[in-house]
Structure formats: structure tokens, C-alpha cells
């Protein structure tokens, strides 16, 4: 017998572990100002205090609280990753839906464009975009979204192609619905499950890209982020191992959790594939 979606999804122990960590990070990000009221850039003590002293995770080279930085970093990193993924999903879905639905030369042109964006070295492109637009939270979102929409477009196009000749779409055409209405109300809802899986995995990639950009010093200025903390701590690895180690573990756990949940979603939404 086929189990229901929530049974399949929530009975997976890896999904539970992933969801727990993500819930924690999300809560911390939302409640950052309550949990760590001080400005994360404020100097609170002596530099290089080791963990488990006055400050749970120690202080950095300037005497800033590492835990406070992680808490505020969660907000920056998550916000940028989620916003850029939403932008990529919106744009990718539009491109994929239009290409799949209209077919012919429109499909050709849009798919060549998608392939082009998949061919060019995407991280390098994001780097160039930020360098030219100047680093800011908004530009990070733009740059990450610009390099991550192609997989979404491909997924949506494939789904639209398989749905558009089905009877309910034909019925809507005969009933005189407009193209845009058919796409939004008939076709796109059917592409939702692969879209959710691909989109959730994109958030993980976006976190990695955002961290790497912040690590290189191209992150949002005046906003604490995990990648920035690692970049700032790398010169002091000899004296203070925790400055680099701890934020890295936080990034690793977060990305890992998203991947676990994304794969759990995939298995739960495509039960036949999971059993194979």
C-alpha cells in the first residue's frame, strides 16, 4: 500500500535531523536581536578568548563575540540565500513555462539562453557581477539568482511539456481561457513537486555561494555573515582555531540539513522512484 506524503516524509530519520537543525537556525535568525541584542561588530572583551570561558564560543581578533556573530550571520546568510532562490525560481519558472508552453522558436531561443548560462563558469560570473555592481545585500541576491535559475527553467520546461497535451489543459483552451491563466492555474500547479525539490536544493547551493563570496570579501558590507567570519579568522588560525572551525561547521550542518530535507522531499513526492 502506498503511504501518504507526510508519513513518507516524516518517517525518514535523516529528514527529522535536518528539519530540527533548520528549525533551530531559522528561529535563531528570526530572533537574532533578542538572543544577541548587542551589535555583532561591537567589541565585548579581550581578543582571542578561547571558547567555553566568558563567551561560549570565544572572541575573535578584535574581541567580538563569536556566538553573537554566528547568530546575526544566520540572519544575513539565510535571508540572502532564500531571497536569491525565490528570485531564481520565479525567473526560471517563467522562462521554462513560456519555453515549454509555446514551443517552436520561442523554446529554441530560451533553451539556447539557458544552456548558455549553464556553460559559462557561474561562480566566476557571480564574482564579476558583484565586482561591477559593487557588493551589497541586494546585489548578492541579484548575482546569485542570475547564476542559479537555469536548472529551474529546465525542470519546469520538462514538466510543462509533459502536461500541456493532457486533457484538462485542452479543455481550458477550448473553454477560452487566456494563455497566462492556463499557465498559472492549470499547468504550473502540476510542476510544483519537482519545483519544490529543485528549489530547496538551490537554497543549499545559494548558502555555499554566499559564504564563498563573503569569504572572499565580497559579502554585504556591515552585515555579519558566516563566510565573512571565516575570511576574517583565516589569518589567525595558528592562535585561534575556533574562529575558522566553528562557523565552517555551522555552514556544513546547514547545507547538509537542507540537502537531507530536499532528498527526503524528493523521495516522499516520488514514491515509486524511492522504492526502486
Partner 1 sequence: MRGTALLFYILRRLLQTVPVVLGVVVLNFLLLQLAPGDLATVLAGEAGGAPKEYIDLLRQRFGQDQPVIVQLYRYMAGLLTLDLGYSFRQSAPVLQLLLDRLWPTLLLMGTTFLLSLGFGVTMGLLAALWVRTWKDHIVSVVAIIFYATPLFWVGLMLILLFSIKLGWFPTSGMEDVVAFNEGWDRVVDIAHHLVLPSITLSLFYLALYARLMRASMLEQRGLDYVTTARAKGLSERQITIRHVLRNALLPVVTMAGVQVGSLLGGSVIVESVFAWPGLGQLAYQSLFARDFNLLLGIFFLSSCLVVIVNLIVDVVYVLLDPRIRIG
Tell me which of 44, 248, 271, 274 binds partner 1, using CB under 8 A.
248
Task: Tell me how far apart the alpha carbons of residues 60 and 107 are, in angstroms, rounded to a whole number.
Answer: 53
Q: Tell me the H-state helices in 216-241.
A: 226-233
Q: What angle do CA 73, 220, 56 make, to 5 degrees?
A: 20
Residue pair 274/267 in contact (Cβ under 8 Å)? The answer is: yes
Tell me which of 74, 197, 212, 265 binds partner 1, using CB under 8 A.
212
Of 97 and 261, the one with the shorter C-beta distance to partner 1 is 261
Task: Determine, following the binding rule CB under 8 A, whether residue 112 of this chain makes contact with partner 1.
Answer: yes
Task: Tell me how far apart the alpha carbons of residues 254 and 248 are, in angstroms, rounded to a whole number.
Answer: 10
Q: What's the gap between Cα 230 and its chain centre?
A: 19
Least distance from C-beta 4 to partner 1, angstroms?
A: 25
| Among the residue ranges 25-33, 70-78, 170-178, 244-252, the one whose residues contact partner 1 (CB under 8 A) | 244-252
The site string for partner 1 over 252-271 (x = CB under 8 A, - otherwise) reads x--xx--xx-----------
Whole-angstrom CA distances from 172 to 81, 96, 162, 254 are 37, 20, 16, 43
Least distance from C-beta 115 to partner 1, angstroms?
A: 8
The site string for partner 1 over 115-154 (x = CB under 8 A, - otherwise) reads -x-xxxxxxxxxxxx-xxx---------------------
Tell me which of 61, 193, 245, 270 binds partner 1, using CB under 8 A.
245
Least distance from C-beta 8 to partner 1, angstroms?
A: 19
Task: Determine, following the binding rule CB under 8 A, whether residue 217 of this chain makes contact with partner 1.
Answer: yes
Residue numbers 168-207 binding partner 1 by CB under 8 A = 204
Task: Determine, following the binding rule CB under 8 A, whether residue 61 of this chain makes contact with partner 1.
Answer: no
| Backbone φ, ψ for residue 41 (5° rounding) | -90, -5
Of 101 and 215, the one with the shorter C-beta distance to partner 1 is 215
Q: State the angle between helix axes of 66-102 and 242-269 in degrees (0 to 180), rounded to the nearest 10.
A: 30
| Backbone φ, ψ for residue 51 (5° rounding) | -60, 165
Tell me which of 89, 218, 224, 232 binds partner 1, using CB under 8 A.
218
DSSP string, 125-173: HHHHHHHHH-S-HHHHHHHHHHHH-HHHHHHHHHHHHHHTTSHHHHHHH
Q: State the angle between helix axes of 13-30 and 66-102 in degrees (0 to 180), rounded to the nearest 10.
A: 110
Task: Determine, following the binding rule CB under 8 A, whether residue 13 of this chain makes contact with partner 1.
Answer: no
| Among the residue ranges 34-42, 159-167, 186-194, 237-245, the one whose residues contact partner 1 (CB under 8 A) | 237-245
Least distance from C-beta 221 to partner 1, angstroms?
A: 14
Of 28 and 218, the one with the shorter C-beta distance to partner 1 is 218
Residue with cell 585561534: 240
User: Contact positions toward partner 1, by CB under 8 A?
Assistant: 112, 116, 118-129, 131-133, 204, 208, 211-212, 215-218, 227, 230, 234, 237-238, 241, 244-245, 248, 251-252, 255-256, 259-260, 276
Amino acid at each position: 500500500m502506498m503511504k501518504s506524503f507526510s508519513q513518507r516524509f516524516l518517517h525518514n530519520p535523516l529528514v527529522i535531523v535536518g528539519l530540527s537543525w533548520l528549525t533551530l537556525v531559522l528561529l535563531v535568525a528570526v530572533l537574532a536581536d533578542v538572543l544577541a541584542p548587542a551589535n555583532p561588530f561591537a567589541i565585548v572583551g579581550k581578543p582571542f578568548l578561547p571558547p567555553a570561558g566568558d563567551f561560549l564560543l570565544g572572541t575573535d581578533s578584535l574581541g567580538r563575540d563569536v556566538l553573537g556573530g554566528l547568530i546575526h550571520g544566520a540572519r544575513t546568510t539565510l535571508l540572502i540565500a532564500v531571497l536569491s532562490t525565490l528570485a531564481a525560481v520565479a525567473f526560471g519558472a517563467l522562462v521554462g513555462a513560456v519555453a515549454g508552453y509555446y514551443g517552436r522558436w520561442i523554446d529554441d531561443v530560451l533553451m539556447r539562453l539557458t544552456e548558455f548560462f549553464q556553460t559559462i563558469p557561474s561562480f566566476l560570473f557571480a564574482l564579476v557581477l558583484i565586482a561591477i555592481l559593487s557588493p551589497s545585500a541586494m546585489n548578492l541576491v541579484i548575482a546569485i539568482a542570475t547564476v542559479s535559475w537555469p536548472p529551474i527553467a529546465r525542470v519546469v520546461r520538462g514538466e510543462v511539456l509533459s502536461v500541456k497535451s493532457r486533457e484538462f489543459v485542452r479543455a481550458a483552451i477550448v473553454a477560452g481561457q487566456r494563455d497566462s491563466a492556463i499557465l498559472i492555474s492549470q499547468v504550473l500547479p502540476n510542476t510544483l513537486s519537482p519545483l519544490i525539490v529543485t528549489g530547496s536544493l538551490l537554497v543549499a547551493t545559494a548558502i555555499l555561494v554566499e559564504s564563498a563570496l563573503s569569504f572572499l570579501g565580497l559579502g554585504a558590507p556591515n552585515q555579519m555573515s558566516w563566510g565573512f567570519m571565516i575570511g576574517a579568522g583565516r589569518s589567525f588560525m595558528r592562535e585561534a582555531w575556533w574562529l575558522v572551525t566553528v562557523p565552517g561547521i555551522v555552514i556544513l550542518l546547514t547545507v547538509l540539513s537542507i540537502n537531507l530535507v530536499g532528498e527526503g522531499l524528493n523521495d516522499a513526492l516520488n514514491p515509486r522512484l524511492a522504492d526502486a
